[in-house]
Amino acid sequence: MQVPPGVVVAATAGTAPGPFRARPTSAGRSAESRSARDCARAALAMLGQRSADIPTGEGGQPVWPTGFVGSLSHCTGFTVAAVGHVGVASAIGIDVEVHRPIRPAVAATIVCGSEASMLARLAASHPTVAWSAVLWSVKESVFKAWYPHTGRWVDYTACEVVIHPDRGSFDARVVAPAGPTAPRTFAGRWSVVGTHLCSVVIVPAVREGVG
């Protein structure tokens, strides 16, 4: 997945995807979490930061070494981390999911505005893609990039997404209340990689005297 200079993505592929579970076992998630942090440390090493601890913050988010921002994600069979210098990005959100449709009852809880009609059009024009899973993943990435600016997690319906199927990109807008410096609009990339799909959002760093 294409990222700007100063941002590194590291990933590992593991076991094949198993049956869908709304909440994977704690042992499985613990192993996946360790693997994701191993990816994060590998990405940090490629950026010149070695032997880095990545503790978990009060909101469940990873806490990055000074001078870096990042995001990590894991699911059955795949773990990934994206890390960048603060001079390049003010926040990063990345998400990986098994490439299969999510359950209709779950999908109904994340769709807002015109997204239902968008998903129907995408399913008709590109039937081999699990678009509900793409939408889920995109919103996860957006929220991970939103949280460092606000310290708040919000509902899936607080994010409106437009997916561009032929460009492998998306645009998103968060409509939840936030401070004046919090980003509202996001642009990112998504792709299907074998049995998984991945999405990423990189919020550019604010240059002094710009904006």
Is 160 annotated for ligand binding? no
In degrees and rounded to multiples of 5, residue 108 shows phi and psi of -65, -25
Residues 96/98/104/106 CA torsion (nearest 10 deg): -40
Is 140 marked within a binding site?
yes
Alpha-carbon 174 to chain mean position:
15
73 is in an annotated binding site: yes
Number of Cβ within 10 Å of residue 109's Cβ equals 12
Residue 155 is assigned to a ligand binding site:
no
Residue 144 annotated as binding? yes
Rounded CA gap, 185 and 161, in Å? 10
Ligand-binding site membership of 166 (annotated): no
Q: Count Cβ atoms within 10 A of the Cβ of residue 32 and give its class: 0-12 exposed, 13-18 middle, 19 or more buried.
A: buried
Rounded CA separation 159/111 (Å): 9
- Sheet strands side by side (includes 89-98): 89-98, 196-204, 185-193, 169-174, 159-164
Binding residues, as ranges, are: 29, 37, 73-74, 95, 97, 140, 144
Binding residues for CoA, as ranges, are: 29, 37, 73-74, 95, 140, 144
Binding residues for Mg(2+), as ranges, are: 95, 97
